[in-house]
Structure 1
Amino acid sequence: MTLSTSLHYHPLLFFFLFLLHAPPCPAAGGSWSILLQSIGISAMHMQLLPNDRVVMFDRTDFGTSQISLPNGKCRHNSTDCSAHSVEYDVASNSIRPLMVLTDVWCSSGALMPNGRLTQTGGWGEGFRVVRTYRSCDACDWREIPNALNEQRWYATNHILPDGRQIIIGGRQAFNYEFYPKASTTENSHSLPFLVQTNEPNIENNLYPFVFLNPDGNLFIFANNRAILFDYSKNQVVRSYPTMPGGQPRNYPSTGSAVLLPLRIQQGTVNTVEVLVCGGAPKGAFVNALNGKFDRALDTCGRINISDQNPQWLMETMPLARVVGDLLLLPNGHVLNINGASAGSAGWELGRNPVLNPVLYRPDHPVGSRFQVQNPSTKPRVYHSTAVLLRDGRVLVGGSNPHDKYVFTDVLYPTELSLEAFSPSYLDPRLSTLRPNIISPKTKTKMHYSKKMVIRFTVPGPVNPSLVSVTMVAPSFNTHSFSMNQRLLVLPSSNSSKVVGQSYYTVDVTAPPSGNIAPAGNYLLFVVHNEIPSPGIWVRVR
C-alpha cells in the first residue's frame, strides 16, 4: 500500500502533512554538553574513523601532556613519557593514549579507502614522515621515515578517484606529490599557482582549500584566488575571478571553506558550488604581532564553479569570524563553529572568541540563510577542531593559542576538554519526525551506480517529498579546514513506500563514479523534513 493510498483511510494525516511542509521550528539553536573535562592533550588534529572512534593529536614538542603513555612507555631518545595522541571511543565516552614519535605539528591527512588514516608531514624530524593508524583496541601509530619528497608543513591532502592522496603545498613547498607513490623515483610536481598566491613573509596561502570536482579535476583556493587544476597533466584548466574585496582567506588569515552538497541527478552533478567564509583582512597578521587586533572578516563568498561564467556571490555573516570551522551537517546545512572575532591565526594573535555557532542554509533565499545558534561556554580559538559524528552531533575539541601548554595567567588557557554540539534537529521535541534506519546494517558495501533499498522507521507521519538520502565523507580537520569533506544527495525514487505501521522504504542509487565519490567509507543518513536519522557506515567501491 502506498502512502497516498493510506491517506484515503486516515484523513487526519492531511493535517499533519500540512504541518510537515514547513521546516520544523528550531529548538533554540541547538545545545551543548561537556563529554570529558580533559583528554590530556589539546586536539589540534581530528579524524573520525569508520568504527566510531576519533583519533586526535597535538604536536610532540609542547612539553609534557596530561595523559601518560601506557605500560611505562616513553618516546625514543626522550624523557617525555606522556602521550601526544589519543583515540576517543564515542560509544564508551573514553580515551586511550597513543604513541606518535615524530612531530605532527600543523600536518595533514586523509582516511584511505580501507579505513586507515594516512597522515603526512609535520615539523622538524616529522617534515617528510608518513604515519598510518588502523584502529583496534591495541593498535598504535606506524611511522614511515622519508616517505615524502618535500617538507610538508601546513599542506592539504585530498583523496583521489584512484585511492591515492594528493598532497598540495606547505610552507615553502610550491608543488604537490602523491602517496602512495607509483615508484620510489616518483618526483614532486611544480604548482606555480602557489607561488603566485604567496605573500612574502606572510604567505596567506597555507592549508589551501582543495576539493575534487566531479569532472575529476581539483578546485584549489589560495589567498583570494582559485583555479581548476588537472593534476594528471599538471595544467590549469580554468582560473576563477578573484574574490571581491581581495581579502586573504587562508593561513594565517584563516577562514574556512566547504564544498556545498552535491546533488546527483541522472548519473551526474549539474551544479558544483564552493563556500568560503571568514578570515582576517590584509595586514591583520602583522598588526596582531604589533598588538593591534583587526576585526575579522564577516563575509562569505559563494561560487558556482561549474557555471560557464562563474561569479562570486558575497554574503554577510551575522558574526565576524577568523579560525572558524565550516562543517557539513547531514541535512545539507553548513555549521560555522569555533573561532575569534579579531586578530589572526598564530601564537597569541587572536582576540574575542566567537562562542555562537552559525548555521548556513544553502537552499534558503539570500538574506535568510544565516541562523545564530546557542553559545558554548568554552572559547575555541587557534588550534581548535570539530568533526561530525554518526549520531548527528558535532564533536568539538582543542584550542591552544600558546607555544606550550598554558593554563593560567593568559586570556585563553589551553583547552583539554571535549564537548559536543547537538544541532536543533536532535531536540527531543522533534523525535516523532526523526527517521531510524533499519536496513541495510552499518558497514554495508555500496557499488557504483547500483540500486539499494533503505528501510527506515519514523514514529510520526511521513511526507515522501520531504525524504532524502545523504552521504557524508568523514573529514580530516585541522587549522579551520576539513580535508576531504563532501556531502552527496543520492538520487531516489519519487516516493517512500509504506511497508508497515511507521515502516517505510526508499530506493536509492549509489554514486556513479570515483570522481563524484572517491572509494571509501561514508556516513549514510535518511533525512526527513531536514531531520536526519542516525547514520550508518557504508563503504563505496
Structure 2
Amino acid sequence: MATSTFLIYLQLLFFCLLHTTPCSATGGVWSILLPNIGISAMHMQLLPNDRVVMFDRTDFGTSRISLPSGKCRHNSTDCSAHSVEYDVASNSIRPLMVLTDVWCSSGALTPNGRLTQTGGWGDGSQVVRIYKSCAKCDWQEIQNGLNQPRWYATNQVLPDGRQIIIGGRQTFNYEFYPKMSATEDSYNLPFLVETNDPIIENNLYPFVFLNPDGHLFIFANNRAILFDYSRNQVVRNYPTMPGGQPRNYPSTGSAVLLPLQIKDGAVNTVEVLVCGGAPKGAFNNALINGKFDRALDTCGRIKISDQNPQWLMETMPLARVLGDMLLLPNGHVLNINGASAGSAGWELGRNPVLNPVVYRPENPIGSRFQVQNPSSIPRLYHSTAVLLRDGRVLVGGSNPHDKYEFTNVLYPTELSLEAFAPSYLDPSASILRPNIISPRTKSNMHYGRQMTIRFTIPGPVNPSLVSVTMIAPSFNTHSFSMNQRLLVVDSGYTAKTVGRSYHTVEVTAPPSGNIAPSGNYLLFVVHNEIPSPGIWVRIQ
C-alpha cells in the first residue's frame, strides 16, 4: 500500500513538473557568500573564467582591504585596494590596484574576454583601463585613451568588436574604442542635449541596446531613438513614454532588451522593457526639501521592430528606484535591489525594497509579475548584481554616502557579497534540470554553423519544452547592465540512447554580429523553464 501511494505521488509530481506552466515556486533563496570583501561593489563584471571584477571609487579614503606586498597608489599614502577580483569557485577575493578614479564609470568585455573599462571622475575621466584575469594580473591604464571626459556614460559592444561610448555628464557626444586612427574624433549627439534636464540631467547612463539591424536603440530621460552611428544619423524617433516621467540617472530606473528569438536565421520581434525610476523633481525634493517621493511603479514595454511602435504600460507590484534588471537563463527578467522612495544620490534613497520581482515576458498581461523572497540586507545607491554561470545572481554593493559609513547612519555602507538563487534552482526542480555533457565549456561557435549539444535530465523530458539560450555577460553599475542580451537560438531536439540515456539538441549559431557581437556568452539548455548550469562559448 505504501509503495502504491509513493508511485501515485511520483506520477503527480511528474505531471506537475511537466505541465507547461510550472507549479508554484518557492520564491528563491538568499545566502551570504562573504560578509566583508573590503570594498563596496559599485561596478561589477563577470569574466569568462568565472571570476568577477568589482570596484568602487578611489577618492574617498581607504577601503577595508589592503593592497598586497605593501603596494600603495602612486603619489598617495593610500595603500588600500579599491578593486577586487572574486573567484566564484573558491569563494575568495584578491585585491587589485586601480590607479585613477573609476567612480561612476562604464565598461564592456572585448571579444577576447578582457574587460575594457572607461572613464570615471577627476584624473580618471579620460582613462581607459584593461583587465586581463590571471593569478597575478592587474589593471593596465591608458592615459588619455578617451577624447572626452566620460562620467556616467554607457558602453555598447558593436558588431565589429569595438565599443561605442555614449554620453556622460555634460558630454553630449559619443566616441569609439579602440580608435581606428590617432586622429579619430568624437561625434555630437543632439539627442543628449534634447533630453538633458537643465536642473538635473535625468539622461545619464542612457539605456543603449544593439538592434538586430545594426543600429542602436538609445533611451534617455523619457524618450528613445534608433540611431545609425556609422552615419551619425537618427533613423527613427519613438513616442515619449506615457506619463513623461524620467527613467535615467538620477531618476534611475532600469531596462532590458527582452529575449531575442532567432528563427530561420532572423529576429522578427525586438522589444525593450523599461521599469521603475523616480518622478520629476524627486532628486531636488530629497536633496533640498528632505521629502522622499514615492518611486515609480510602472514599466513601459515597446516593440521597437513594429511599423508603428507604441508603449504598453504595466504596473509593478512594488514601486522601485535604483533597481537592477537582469535576464535569467529561462528568459525571465529579475528586478532586484533598490528603494521605494527618493532618488539616486548621496543619502537620497529611502525604504529599501528587499523583495526581488520576476517578470515573465510571455505570460498574459496581469500575470507577468511574481514577488520573490526578501533579502535581509538593504541594497540602495551603488548596489550591483550579475548573473553567474550556475544560474545564481551575485549581489553586492550599496553605499549611499560619499565615504564609508558604518555607524550612526540610516543605511550603513555594505561590504558583503550575497547570492540569490532563483526558484529554478530549488531542489524540487532538480529532476527536470538539464546538465550539459558536451561540448565542454570554453567551446567555439561560428556564425550560422550548427553545433550538437548533448545533455542529461534525471526525470522525464517534454521535447516541446526544450530550448537553448545564450546570454552575454554584462557590465553592471547604477542600475543598468551594459551589453546584456539573451538569444533563444534556432534548435531541434532529438533523444538518443548510447550506453546510458542522454539527449541531443542541434543548434544553429546566431547568423551575424548584429544579432550576437563576437565574444563570450553563457550557453544554457532550458527544460520547462529550468536551466542547466551554463557553459562558456565564444562566437566568432
- Per the shorter chain, which TM-score range? over 0.9
C-alpha distance in 2 between matches for 1:345 and 1:14: 48
Tell me which residue corresponds to 2:162.
164
From 178, 183, 186, give the equivalent of 1:185: 183
Q: Is 2:383 the counterpart of 1:384?
A: yes
Q: Where do residues 104-183 of structure 1 align in structure 2 (5 Å cutoff)?
A: 104-183=102-181
C-alpha distance in 2 between matches for 1:485 and 1:347: 27
What whole-Å deviation, never above 9, does each CA across 1:332-388 have from its counterpart, x for those lacking one?
A: 000000000000000000000000000000000000000000000000000000000
Q: Where do residues 61-460 of structure 1 align in structure 2 (5 Å cutoff)?
A: 61-289=59-287, 290-460=289-459
What whole-Å deviation, never above 9, does each CA across 1:44-77 have from its counterpart, x for those lacking one?
A: 0000000000000010012110000000000000
SS at 2:424 equivalent: helix
CA contact 1:26–1:425 (8 Å) conserved in 2: no
Residue identity opposite 1:114 in structure 2? N
C-alpha distance in 2 between matches for 1:187 and 1:129: 16
Deviating 4+ runs (over 2 angstroms):
12-19, 21-27, 494-502
CA contact 2:128–2:146 (8 Å) conserved in 1: yes
Query: What is the CA distance between 1:429 and its match in structure 2?
Result: 1.1
What whole-Å deviation, never above 9, does each CA across 1:164-213 have from its counterpart, x for those lacking one?
A: 00000000000000000001100000000000000012000000000000
Query: What is the CA distance between 1:284 and its match in structure 2?
Result: 0.4
What whole-Å deviation, never above 9, does each CA across 1:248-270 have from its counterpart, x for those lacking one?
A: 00000000000000000011000
Residue identity opposite 1:539 in structure 2? R
Tell me which residue corresponds to 1:3.
none
C-alpha distance in 2 between matches for 1:497 and 1:149: 57
C-alpha distance in 1 between matches for 2:203 and 2:497: 52
Residue identity opposite 1:305 in structure 2? I
The TM-score normalised by the length of structure 1 is: 0.97
What whole-Å deviation, never above 9, does each CA across 1:77-109 have from its counterpart, x for those lacking one?
A: 000000000000000000000000000000000
Q: Percent identity?
A: 84
Residues 74/258 of structure 1: CA separation in 2 closer, same or farther (3 Å cut): same
Residues 441/494 of structure 1: CA separation in 2 closer, same or farther (3 Å cut): closer
CA contact 2:494–2:503 (8 Å) conserved in 1: no
- The more displaced of 19-28 and 285-294 is 19-28
C-alpha distance in 2 between matches for 1:395 and 1:373: 16
Residue identity opposite 1:465 in structure 2? S
Residue identity opposite 2:91 in structure 1? N
Query: What is the CA distance between 1:23 and its match in structure 2?
Result: 2.8
Query: What is the CA distance between 1:236 and its match in structure 2?
Result: 0.3
Tell me which residue corresponds to 1:54.
52
SS at 1:492 equivalent: strand
C-alpha distance in 2 between matches for 1:436 and 1:486: 22
CA contact 1:85–1:97 (8 Å) conserved in 2: yes
SS at 2:428 equivalent: helix
Query: What is the CA distance between 1:28 and its match in structure 2?
Result: 1.8
Query: What is the CA distance between 1:397 and its match in structure 2?
Result: 0.1
Residue identity opposite 2:381 in structure 1? Y
Residues 515/13 of structure 1: CA separation in 2 closer, same or farther (3 Å cut): farther
Tell me which residue corresponds to 1:4.
none
CA contact 1:499–1:505 (8 Å) conserved in 2: no
Query: What is the CA distance between 1:19 and its match in structure 2?
Result: 5.0
C-alpha distance in 2 between matches for 1:498 and 1:368: 39
Query: What is the CA distance between 1:21 and its match in structure 2?
Result: 2.5
C-alpha distance in 2 between matches for 1:507 and 1:28: 32
C-alpha distance in 1 between matches for 2:493 and 2:119: 47
What whole-Å deviation, never above 9, does each CA across 1:109-161 have from its counterpart, x for those lacking one?
A: 00000000000000000010000000001000000001100000000000000
State the superposition RMSD in angstroms.
Answer: 1.2
Tell me which residue corresponds to 1:489.
488
C-alpha distance in 1 between matches for 2:132 and 2:24: 39
Query: What is the CA distance between 1:515 and its match in structure 2?
Result: 0.1
- The more displaced of 20-29 and 419-428 is 20-29
SS at 2:299 equivalent: strand
C-alpha distance in 2 between matches for 1:514 and 1:19: 37
C-alpha distance in 1 between matches for 2:469 and 2:71: 43
CA contact 2:175–2:186 (8 Å) conserved in 1: yes
Residue identity opposite 1:115 in structure 2? G
Tell me which residue corresponds to 2:32.
34
C-alpha distance in 1 between matches for 2:404 and 2:139: 23
C-alpha distance in 1 between matches for 2:113 and 2:18: 38
C-alpha distance in 1 between matches for 2:21 and 2:102: 43
What whole-Å deviation, never above 9, does each CA across 1:463-498 have from its counterpart, x for those lacking one?
A: 100000000000000000000000000101154555
SS at 2:513 equivalent: coil
Residue identity opposite 1:255 in structure 2? G
CA contact 1:17–1:461 (8 Å) conserved in 2: no
CA contact 1:461–1:502 (8 Å) conserved in 2: no
CA contact 2:224–2:240 (8 Å) conserved in 1: yes
Query: What is the CA distance between 1:499 and its match in structure 2?
Result: 4.7
Query: What is the CA distance between 1:502 and its match in structure 2?
Result: 3.8
Residue identity opposite 2:178 in structure 1? P
C-alpha distance in 2 between matches for 1:64 and 1:300: 39
Residue identity opposite 1:124 in structure 2? G
Residues 279/517 of structure 1: CA separation in 2 closer, same or farther (3 Å cut): same
C-alpha distance in 1 between matches for 2:499 and 2:468: 20
Residues 464/200 of structure 1: CA separation in 2 closer, same or farther (3 Å cut): same
C-alpha distance in 1 between matches for 2:477 and 2:207: 12
CA contact 2:72–2:80 (8 Å) conserved in 1: yes
Residue identity opposite 2:401 in structure 1? H
Tell me which residue corresponds to 1:508.
507
Query: What is the CA distance between 1:292 and its match in structure 2?
Result: 0.3
SS at 1:276 equivalent: strand
SS at 2:283 equivalent: helix
What whole-Å deviation, never above 9, does each CA across 1:431-489 have from its counterpart, x for those lacking one?
A: 11000000000000000000000000000010100000000000000000000000000
Consecutive unaligned residues of structure 1, counting only runs of 5 or more, are 1-11
Residue identity opposite 2:458 in structure 1? P
C-alpha distance in 2 between matches for 1:467 and 1:133: 37
